[in-house]
Amino acid sequence: MSPEVALNRISPELRPLLCSVVRNGRVGLDSTNCLRVTDLKTGCTSLTPGPCCDRFKLHIPYAGETLKWDIIFNARDPELPPDFIFGEDAEFLPEPSELPHLVQWDAGDPECLLQLVKELIQQYHQYQCQRLRESSRLLFEYDSLLEDPNYSRSMEIYAGHKNSWTGEFSARFLLKLPVDFSNIPVYLLKDTTLDPGEDVALLSVSFEDAEATQVFPKLYLSPSIEHALGGSSALHIPAFPSGGCLIDYVPQVCQLLTNKVQYVIQGYHKRREYIAAFLSHFGMGVVEYDAEGFTKLTLLLMWKDFCFLVHVDLPLYFPRDQPTLTFQSVYHFTNSGQLYSQVQKSYPYSPRWDGNEMAKRQETCKAVEPATIFGPALPRQIHFISI
């Protein structure tokens, strides 16, 4: 159900409260999507003219799960605070006095419902942490993470129900990794078609049994970060070591991600340096270059009165990955009507060279390569263009 449909069907007195939830409602660590509303129903009789819906199901992402809570208002008394049914968590009973927005319920405040939901989520988190006491191993994991200020406040835990048949108890930890994405170049982030939202990296670790013999980690990145790092296949996290614990594993993943981000940032700077060096060396020979991402550069060069284009493609993880040179003739066409070109990757290169050094080496290289590439193809009757 889209937010607009939900807002159209809700009772007018309750509309502001729901509007705040469906449009701005982001709770928990996974704030990429807003809270979702379904199953709108009314507590009024069928004689009541609509819209008069006053109860609905709220879908809340939490620790990799989706909580489905029933929120029940009363359209006849909209000033009364709502009531809740916590789905399958029938034993979850928060302390009402610890819910300030319930005690001081203000039906006129559009944010009141959203704030109340956030407070309930906090108490729900406490409730789940309490349930970890059924397994000493998992409780140890939780306590050890709690001591680390980097993770203690950015952690969601969902303790599954104990299997009465097998006695197995499972739990899932969702941690927000404290990685700084602020230095990632903007151009990398804005290419996504999705609403980027907050740049966040979440590590989900599922313990399928209480003794931590089956542990499955997963890394979730916000769409912009995933795009910036080169897609979902660009980053592979290591498997959870047997006998290991979260307090050792999480920092390891965090460091890996941080290194990756650093690579990306460094790559950007390096590319910019490279382009700058080429601009200074080849000056008037520069046809065009990517002024945002510094990923492409096109030069028009001449060798023995023979002009050609050189396209330089700088990869994302430059200078670790070697740039690709594409030599293109300005005179010749292939049978398909395209300009004759050839890609060259085997040329002297070292990632440890700075931009100037690379430019100098390229200068030498470009003096030799055309003869190799275009030599056999050069017709004798073509006139050369001088730059």
* Residue 104 or 259 having the CB closest to another protein: 104
For residues 176 to 205, the per-residue mask of contacts with another protein, x marking binding by CB under 8 A and - elsewhere, is ------------------------------
Q: Is 47 a residue that touches another protein (CB under 8 A)? A: yes
* Residue 44 binding another protein, by CB under 8 A: yes
Q: In the range 104-143, which residues lie near another protein by CB under 8 A?
A: 105
Are the CB atoms for 105 and 96 separated by under 8 Å? no
Residue 69: φ, ψ to 5°: -105, 135
Closest CB 130 distance from another protein, rounded Å: 12
User: Residue written as tokens 């489905």?
Assistant: 68
Q: How far is the CB of 102 from another protein (least distance, A)?
A: 6
User: Nearer Cβ to another protein, position 102 or 310?
Assistant: 102
Among 15, 23, 26, 41, interactor with another protein by CB under 8 A: 41
**Across 193-335, where does the E strand assignment appear?**
201-207, 215-221, 286-289, 296-303, 306-313, 324-333
Q: List C-alpha distances in Å: 316 to 195, 265, 270.
A: 23, 9, 10
Query: How far is residue 2's CA from residue 13's CA, in Å, rounded to a whole number?
Result: 20
**List of E strands, 222-320:** 286-289, 296-303, 306-313
Which residues in 265-284 contact another protein (CB under 8 A)? none
Residues 65-94 that bind another protein (CB under 8 A): 70, 72, 74, 76-77, 80-81, 83-86, 90-91, 93-94
Which CB, 81 or 355, lies closer to another protein?
A: 81
Closest C-alpha to 206, from 138, 267, 254, 258:
138
The residues, any chain, with a CB within 8 Å of residue 100's CB and separated by 6 or more, are 119
C-beta of residue 27 within 8 angstroms of C-beta of residue 35? yes
Tokens linked to 156: 């969601």
Half-sphere exposure of 98 (CA within 13 A, CB side): 11
Least separation in angstroms between CB 50 and another protein: 7
Question: Would you count residue 43 as binding another protein (CB under 8 A)?
Answer: yes
- For residue 86, the minimal CB distance to another protein (Å) is 7
Q: Taking CB under 8 A as the rule, does residue 10 contact another protein?
A: no
**Residues in the site for another protein, rule: CB under 8 A?**
41-50, 55, 70, 72, 74, 76-77, 80-81, 83-86, 90-91, 93-94, 96-97, 99, 102-103, 105
